[in-house]
Amino acid sequence: IPGQKLVLITGCSSGIGLRMAVMLATDEQKRYHVVATMRDLKRKDKLVEAAGDAYGKTLSLAVLDVCNDESVQQCISGIKDRHVDVLINNAGIGLVGPIESIPIEEMKKVFETNFFGVIRMIKEVMPDMKRRKGGHIIVVSSVMGLQGVVFNDVYAASKFAMEGFCESLVVQLLKFNVTLSMIEPGPVHTEFESKMIQDVKQKEYPGADPDTVHYFKNVYLPSSVDIFETLGQTPDDIARVGSQASL
């Protein structure tokens, strides 16, 4: 449809990705077509229900595991002419605990998803965006991409790494009129916490108060403001996304 922008979002089975997919697909003024992706379509029901009439019209589904090269290639090549106008890299996993007790394999999974998963996606859409001289790549980082938090060492490192990657890449993309934005949310109530390995025993580590992160609750950084303006939202929508995501 002329004038319609194709937005591809990773990790839409729950949380922030699910809400972003619904908000964008149901925004009648903006005319987005959202390709909401998830690694297992058996988890689609919540999204389909929340999308209502938009499902099958302005919202379609696709399978995508950001840790799998083949899955990423298949997903992008399944899109007509491979034209993605906006890529939202949202899929991510967490890990909390003292590094002595966490197997290196678990730490690698965090980097494989939060860091290489994003790079895999960007590599796949970048050639077309550069050729067409336009596009927008968005990365959901975290306040922990800017500030370490106790026992979140590896998760914070994966997001810090992403910040460095994007800060470097953005310069290269400018020449091609491709925008790269980062979102750095504070705590949002989603399935995130319940899915991750959490190995902090409060009594043994009196300093490990999970509420420490609430310190960041109201911090909105310039890049967050930029992205929400670009999407036609306000920074307050971070909170709105969070509260709706707990549905």
Which active-site residues does the annotation give?
155
CB nearer to ligand NDP: pick between 176 and 192: 192
Q: How far apart are CA 205 and CA 101, in angstroms?
A: 14
- 75 annotated ligand-binding residue: no
Least distance (Å) between residue 40 CB and ligand NDP: 5
Q: How far apart are CA 92 and CA 115, in angstroms?
A: 9
CB nearer to ligand NDP: pick between 88 and 129: 88
Residues that bind ligand NDP (CB under 6 A): 10-17, 38-40, 43, 64-67, 90-93, 113, 117, 140, 142, 185, 187-188, 190-192, 195
- 31 annotated ligand-binding residue: yes
Handedness of CA 153, 155, 156, 160 (dihedral sign): positive
CB nearer to ligand NDP: pick between 159 and 172: 159
Least distance (Å) between residue 95 CB and ligand NDP: 10
CB nearer to ligand NDP: pick between 7 and 38: 38
- 20 annotated ligand-binding residue: yes
Least distance (Å) between residue 200 CB and ligand NDP: 16
The distance of Cα 136 from the centroid of its chain, to the nearest Å, equals 14
- 14 annotated ligand-binding residue: yes
Number of Cβ within 10 Å of residue 4's Cβ equals 12
Token couple for 25: 């697909």
Q: Which residues are annotated as a binding site?
A: 11-39, 65, 142, 159
Q: Which residues are annotated as a binding site for NADP(+)?
A: 11-39, 65, 159
